[in-house]
Structure 1
Amino acid sequence: MNDLIRAWEHIETWLREHQCTSALSKLHPPASQEAIRSLQDAISYPLHPHLVQWLGIHGGAPMYDAPIWPGGYVPYDVEALKGGPEYMEEMLDEFNEQRDEDPETWILDPWADPLWLPIAGTHTGESLLIDHRPGDTYGNIIEIDYEDNEVTAVRWKSLGEMIRLMAESLESGSPMPCSPQYSLVPQLDEGPPSYLNWRLEKIQD
């Protein structure tokens, strides 16, 4: 059993022990091998193995209906994932158009790349992506937040690391790192129904 699967089992155990199953209950069952093959056929590059492992646990969730990941992110289902490359193409065209309008003062990093695949989103429009570019960035989890000064920022080295840190944070009650300046602190709202919140907290110097 790999670390990602083991870590997610710890997360589900914690959520059930704390009667915090509202979002958990809305996750889809494991994606079938046929569905995963169909997804791979729709993507022009090999899917990162952590994404394949995740889909073997839960095949996503109804859009914006199960904020199960830190930051209120809902993991996309297979059909939504298939639209990722087209969405990236549209976002890259938008970026290039805006940069071309004022190239002398443009300072923002690109908010799209043909090898970035969106894997989760929030109801306020933020996205998590997996970087499929070869090299040191391969597998990185990138956040796109149009309201943030960074717009794009690497949050975790991989999906496996994100889920592992989530499990460790829930079990220990300690903050979950998400940037050099901020961490996410798990908070249980006992409701009813009970649900999990992640409070953004500045890391003290």
Structure 2
Amino acid sequence: MELARTVALLDRWLEEHAPGDFRQLAPPAESAQAAAVTENRFQPHPDVLSWLALHDGSALDPRSAAGAFVPTDFPLLGAAGMRDGLREMAEEVARAQEEGEAEYVVGVMADVRWLPVAMNHTGGQLVVDHREGPGFGAVLELDPSIGLDGVKRWDSLSHLLDSVLDALVHGTPVATAGAGGARNVPRVEDTGNPLPHVVWDLYYS
């Protein structure tokens, strides 16, 4: 499904069922900010620009538990967060090259063409792969806390949002990137503070 249409449907679902998450959605990023997320290192993938043209991230208040409606508990970044995340990627690659560790880091734990688009509270990241080849545009997961190094999770940012929408509307489980056949199943948590918001429960086969 076209990303803009998916996000419109997702927005409506969140507004009705998970208003805490809906209120965390930022307005569109300024076009100049969106275009500058990669600081001219490469052209941002069209899905990235489409997302930023609709919402400059999903965590207006980063202290809130709401806004993390992507499994597993990822808030989506805005333009500034993407830019800063890419700078950190480039710094990690430069450090690895300087210390002779490039083969263990570049394309494994960090890459100058991996654009972070989400980050969770454990330091895990979702990145859009901008390297040329069949994986261009894919969404990879990195999480050193559980040993995930650039594992593909979705074919694209559009595919990610399609799977989230399907899971929220139909209760469809979403596979994790790790081993063991685990599945993430969404539910709406309503504790009164913050407002009702999506959480993901993990189940093992």
Structure 1 length-normalised TM? 0.83
The Cα of 1:161 is off from its aligned counterpart by 0.2
SS of equivalent residue, structure 2 residue 201: strand
Alignment of 1:28-39 (within 5 A): 28-39=26-37
RMSD over aligned CA atoms reads 2.7
2:78 is aligned to 77
d(CA) in 2 for partners of 1:54, 1:137: 19
Alignment of 1:43-62 (within 5 A): 43-60=40-57, 61-62=59-60
The gaps in structure 2 that reach 5 residues or longer are: none
Mapped contact 2:28–2:52 kept (Cα < 8 A): yes
2:155 is aligned to 157
The Cα of 1:95 is off from its aligned counterpart by 4.6
Mapped contact 1:43–1:82 kept (Cα < 8 A): no
Structure 2 counterpart of 1:91, one-letter code: E
Structure 2 counterpart of 1:23, one-letter code: D
Mapped contact 2:117–2:126 kept (Cα < 8 A): yes
d(CA) in 1 for partners of 2:140, 2:174: 16
2:62 is aligned to 64
Deviations 1:82-130 (A, max 9, x none): 2233211222245557774xx9xx7997201111111111122111100
Distance change (3 Å), C-alpha of 1:28 and 1:149: same
d(CA) in 2 for partners of 1:152, 1:38: 24
Structure 2 counterpart of 1:8, one-letter code: V
Mapped contact 1:21–1:195 kept (Cα < 8 A): yes
Structure 2 counterpart of 1:9, one-letter code: A
The Cα of 1:190 is off from its aligned counterpart by 2.6
Distance change (3 Å), C-alpha of 1:147 and 1:95: farther
Who wins on radius of gyration, i.e. which is larger?
1
The Cα of 1:21 is off from its aligned counterpart by 1.4
* 1:22 corresponds to which of 20, 23, 39: 20
Structure 1 counterpart of 2:71, one-letter code: P
SS of equivalent residue, structure 1 residue 54: helix
Which stretch shows the higher mean deviation, 114-123 or 61-70? 61-70
d(CA) in 2 for partners of 1:57, 1:167: 16
Mapped contact 2:14–2:21 kept (Cα < 8 A): no
Deviations 1:125-148 (A, max 9, x none): 111100001111101111110111
d(CA) in 2 for partners of 1:35, 1:86: 15
Distance change (3 Å), C-alpha of 1:139 and 1:177: same
Asked if residue 184 in structure 1 is aligned to residue 184 in structure 2, the reply is yes
